[in-house]
Amino acid sequence: MGRNILALSDERGIMINSAGHVVYELPFEGSGNSAAEIYQDRNGEIVSCFVRNDIFFVFRENQLKGTFQIISDLEDFPESFLEVFRPL
């Protein structure tokens, strides 16, 4: 993204800007591996997504926009989501 770097471990995610300042830091709870994705949306804003175990975190720029738990069973999926999301 040119002006930011995203660092990730199984314990935390952190975004640092080009001046070396921490934009945000996200400590992960639980155990297991973590994964991250960062991209620039159509409006030029940076979106960062983190996953550890079954918890998903979404940041837009430096603000946490939401967290949700990944559902493993289709029966637990909200009815309104079934038309949009299909489990793999």
Q: What is the mean pLDDT of each run of 10 residues along the chain (88 residues)?
A: 79 89 88 86 88 87 85 63 54
The pLDDT value recorded for residue 39 is 85
Q: Which residues contact 21 (CB under 8 A, 6 or more apart)?
A: none
Helices (H), the chain: none
Q: Bridge partners of 24?
A: 15
pTM over 0.75: no
Residue 41 main-chain phi, psi, to 5 deg: -80, 180
